[in-house]
A and B are shown apart, each in its own frame.
Chain A
Amino acid sequence: MKTAVPRTIFVFVILSLVLAACAPATAPAPAGEAGAAAPIKLTHWIGVGTGGSQQAECVIANVIEPYNEMTEGVTVETVLQSNVWEAMRTAVAGGGGPDIVTTPGPSFVYEMAKSGQLLPLSDYADQLGWADTFAPWALSLGLVDGELYSVPHELETLILYYNKTVFEENGWPPPATFDEMVALSEQIADAGIIPFAHTNGEWRAANEWFVGEFLNHVAGPDNVYLALIGQKPWTDPEFVEAIDHLTDMQLKGWFMGGLDRYYTGTDDERRVMLGDGVAAMTIEGTWALDNMSNYFGEAAGNANEWDIIPVPSVTGEDIYDLGIGSTYSINAASPNPDAAADFLTYYFSPESQATLLVECGVAPAPVTLTEEQLTGLDPRFAKAFAGLTQASDEGNYGYTTWTFWPPKSDVYIYEEIEKVWAGQITSEQYLQGLQDLFQQELEAGDIPPIPEREVSS
């Protein structure tokens, strides 16, 4: 009797603790229920890349904090997250996550919207005049079954960076057409310089940059558009020709000096090669504009300069392939959707976007920026974004694979192309595989929204 009662109590205490641990936590009351005067707190997770948190901190200091100071009763609370997309989709799927939901691109929005995890934004877009802010095609990227669920951010494209000093020393003018680029590559290789500093050693998906560029710039964006809406098969001869060109250049060793070097080189290594003049050109995204200067000039141990041009096309037309680096939505579980919509209106205003670009080097959303707003920007940045904005406004643009292709086809594009380069399959077989997969995704309705385009006959 002496010890039985304490022991029983001990066991029940343990049992109670276990059961208590399994019980759901008390849900916090939504901010709105606490009373009209209660301050509203919006949560916004910002991704931190391998480059560190410097850019994220710049965004907070230049755009988020001014918003918090400007608004009364609403505070945007930012959380820096590595692997932000993985964390985001797990949290949102579990009914939690931040008020502002970001994804790596429009194709990622589709499933979330279908699952009811995102708030429809069409009414907010009408009320807050988003259509006047964004480029004409931009909001259509966020449509799922006719309803707007996301707005695009980080407009990006691929451009041709070249070592201006090496070009000038050798008397090579920048190529204006695709054929000129091929002929120039031949000359560059003959001069003992590697034509293109390309690798996928650190980012295997870099393969898709080149496949996408060649499809758009050899076959033409009109043909790519027709294929994306299912009116033309990917097996048509113009696409085969594009892949054949890419394979030919790759197998000639024009990318990094050989296929095995292409597969193992690092990003830093190839940019050093470009800066030092070991390589002459590279096709890369506008995301590299911000740090390209680190590889040129005195600080990098060379006396070279760099410049950019649009990636040459077969017709000689300037074609910028549009890419969207991220999207913004509102969490369906957000207790403060109105405040979140107000914040998005502020965040996507041309003023905020210009600040993000000029101060932090963040690619802007597809909104119209004036020259005045871009004062202080490196002229090469300005040239790239002016060309991109003009192309997007005029509807004369190409399509990046990571924005306009459905996920399975996109992965197929950059994984299977290596089998063409390895001689395991032909260009025709590669494109047949793409066609089969794309058709399945088209029939399943998994294709990201493709803005309408006037196709020249």
Chain B
Amino acid sequence: MATSDQAVRPSPPAPVSRQDGRSPWGRRYRKYLVPWLFALPILLINVVVVIGPSLSAIYYSLTDWSGIGAGEFIGLENYRRILFQDMNYRRAFLNNIAWLSFFLTVPFAVSLFAASMLARIRRGSMFFRTALFIPYVLPAVITASIWRNLLSPTLGIGALLSDWGIPGLDVAWLGRPQTALLSIAFVDNWHFWGFLMVLFLSAMQGIPPELYEAARIDGASRWQEFRHITVPGIRPTIVFMLLMVAIWSFLVFDYVWILTQGGPAGSSEVLGTLVYKEAFMRFEAGYASAIGLTMSFLAGLIISLFLYLRRRGWEI
């Protein structure tokens, strides 16, 4: 009968042979080859799905490819057209800048405010978090369709208020060049800010509560607590999300396409919708590749700026 001590005692390790990874070849094999073999499938997929198309996009941006058949090499003509000729590109680019400005301010302000309020709630906080996060998990086409109806001047909130004797809001928000882009940004933000809030809330929970207690003892106001403890405490999360939102702002497509397709009169055109139109409606896939590369360049520029500031000692 084995004692309990014997039962838990691990069996002695098997003797290790020289061929079992201890020889110079075996060590090298284990250290260098095996990890690569495990990474090989995903690397191959990346070559096929990412690197291959990226390199071909660079090539096609130098051609007049229609998207079907072969394209003719035209050098930098597509880039010359982007820089000096295409007013639609210029307009779409400016709309992307406006979109970037909106998304670097409004959702951050709203979600920081909401997260700092929710961080103090103990009872029912999960309900609020879930309720505010739900729009983020809804598919874009559903969210956009709901808001298209809500913003309709004949069926939406404005029409309802007008029926109740509150006129002035039964406006076709998506049908006016002055308000179309802002309305789409509002809808996209409605879906997005809950996600941002949950991230900030998680980051805030990592801040030691003693810091807040000490501040309160010193007589700090709520605003001072937020400014001097909360924001510095979650700064890496804020900066990372600023970086991501800046990149995403140049890739926006879905909400614009579903709600206005860039109209009316080009007032909500963004680079993403312009690429789609050039490639699949005007059959200028070569030119669309060139526009797509300028979008990648802009994203690269933002990442480079981020890395540069970090190297200069910014705590981001």
Q: Is the CB of A407 within 8 A of B283?
A: yes
B83 within 8 A of partner (CB): no
Interface string of A1-34 (1 = CB under 8 A from B): 1111000000100110010011000000000000
Interface string of B32-49 (1 = CB under 8 A from A): 011001101100100000
A128 within 8 A of partner (CB): no
Q: Tell me the interface secondary structure of chain B in the complex.
A: loop
> Which of B17-25, B125-133, B231-239 interfaces with chain A?
B17-25
A232 within 8 A of partner (CB): no
Known contacts A260-B153, A407-B281, A408-B283; A111 and B69 CB within 8 A of each other: yes
In the complex, which of the residues A14, A22, A112, A264 contacts B44, with contact meaning CB atoms closer than 8 Å? A22
Q: Is the CB of B171 within 8 A of A260?
A: yes
B66 within 8 A of partner (CB): yes
The answer for the CA separation of A18 and B21 in the assembled complex, in Å, is: 24
Q: Is the CB of B68 within 8 A of A112?
A: yes
A269 within 8 A of partner (CB): yes
Q: Is the CB of B68 within 8 A of A111?
A: yes
Q: Is the CB of B283 within 8 A of A111?
A: yes
Q: Which residue of A lies closest to B66 (CB)?
A: A111
Q: Which residue of A lies closest to B70 (CB)?
A: A115
> Which of B174-182, B190-198, B214-222, B301-309 interfaces with chain A?
B174-182
Q: Please give the distance in Å from B176's CB to the nearest CB on chain A.
A: 5
Q: Is the CB of A3 within 8 A of B69?
A: no
Q: Is the CB of A260 within 8 A of B172?
A: yes
Q: B37 to chain A: which residues have CB within 8 Å?
A: 11, 14-15
Interface string of A112-150 (1 = CB under 8 A from B): 101101000000000000000000000000000000000
Q: Please give the distance in Å from B153's CB to the nearest CB on chain A.
A: 7
Known contacts A264-B172, A264-B175, A419-B266; A115 and B68 CB within 8 A of each other: yes
In the complex, which of the residues A2, A14, A415 contacts B266, with contact meaning CB atoms closer than 8 Å? A415
Known contacts A2-B17, A4-B19, A422-B265; A93 and B153 CB within 8 A of each other: no
Known contacts A22-B44, A421-B265; A260 and B20 CB within 8 A of each other: no
Q: Which chain B residues numbered 3 to 26 have a C-beta less than 8 Å away from chain A?
A: 14, 17, 19-21, 26
Q: Is the CB of A418 within 8 A of B68?
A: no
Q: B282 to chain A: which residues have CB within 8 Å?
A: 407-408, 411
Q: Is the CB of B172 within 8 A of A4?
A: no
Q: Is the CB of A261 within 8 A of B153?
A: yes
Q: Max chain A CB contacts within 10 Å: which of B153, B174, B176, B265?
A: B265
Q: Max chain A CB contacts within 10 Å: which of B19, B153, B172?
A: B172
Q: Is the CB of A422 within 8 A of B177?
A: yes
The answer for the CA separation of A281 and B41 in the assembled complex, in Å, is: 61
Interface string of A436-450 (1 = CB under 8 A from B): 000000000000000
Q: Is the CB of B283 within 8 A of A269?
A: no
Q: Is the CB of B281 within 8 A of A411?
A: yes
The answer for the CA separation of A22 and B44 in the assembled complex, in Å, is: 9
Q: A200 to chain B: which residues have CB within 8 Å?
A: 263
A245 within 8 A of partner (CB): no
Q: Is the CB of B175 within 8 A of A411?
A: no
Q: Which residue of B lies closest to A114 (CB)?
A: B69
In the complex, which of the residues B17, B40, B267, B277 contacts A411, with contact meaning CB atoms closer than 8 Å? B277
The answer for the CA separation of A418 and B66 in the assembled complex, in Å, is: 26
Q: Which residue of A lies closest to B48 (CB)?
A: A22
Q: B66 to chain A: which residues have CB within 8 Å?
A: 111
Q: Is the CB of A1 within 8 A of B19?
A: yes
Q: B281 to chain A: which residues have CB within 8 Å?
A: 407, 411
A346 within 8 A of partner (CB): no
The answer for the CA separation of A260 and B261 in the assembled complex, in Å, is: 15
Q: Which chain A residues numbered 180 to 229 have a C-beta less than 8 Å away from chain B?
A: 200-201, 204
A287 within 8 A of partner (CB): no
Q: Which residue of A lies closest to B269 (CB)?
A: A415
The answer for the CA separation of A257 and B187 in the assembled complex, in Å, is: 26
A178 within 8 A of partner (CB): no
The answer for the CA separation of A154 and B148 in the assembled complex, in Å, is: 32
Q: B20 to chain A: which residues have CB within 8 Å?
A: 1-4
Q: Please give the distance in Å from A48's CB to the nearest CB on chain B.
A: 17
A89 within 8 A of partner (CB): yes
A262 within 8 A of partner (CB): yes
The answer for the CA separation of A418 and B176 in the assembled complex, in Å, is: 11
Q: B151 to chain A: which residues have CB within 8 Å?
A: 264
Q: Which residue of B lies closest to A93 (CB)?
A: B68
B284 within 8 A of partner (CB): yes
Q: Please give the distance in Å from B278's CB to the nearest CB on chain A.
A: 9
The answer for the CA separation of A422 and B67 in the assembled complex, in Å, is: 32
Q: Is the CB of B68 within 8 A of A18?
A: no
Q: Which chain A residues numbered 89 to 122 have a C-beta less than 8 Å away from chain B?
A: 89, 93, 111-112, 114-115, 117
* Cross-chain pairs A/B with CB under 8 angstroms, 26 sampled: A11-B37, A14-B38, A18-B41, A21-B41, A111-B67, A111-B68, A111-B69, A112-B68, A201-B175, A258-B172, A259-B175, A259-B264, A260-B172, A263-B176, A263-B260, A263-B264, A264-B148, A264-B151, A269-B154, A269-B155, A407-B283, A411-B277, A411-B281, A415-B266, A422-B265, A422-B267
14 more CB-based (< 8 A) A-B contacts, given A264-B151, A419-B266: A1-B20, A4-B20, A114-B69, A115-B69, A200-B263, A201-B175, A204-B263, A260-B171, A261-B153, A264-B152, A264-B153, A411-B282, A418-B263, A424-B265
The 4 closest A-B pairs by CB, nearest first: A115-B69, A260-B175, A263-B175, A260-B172
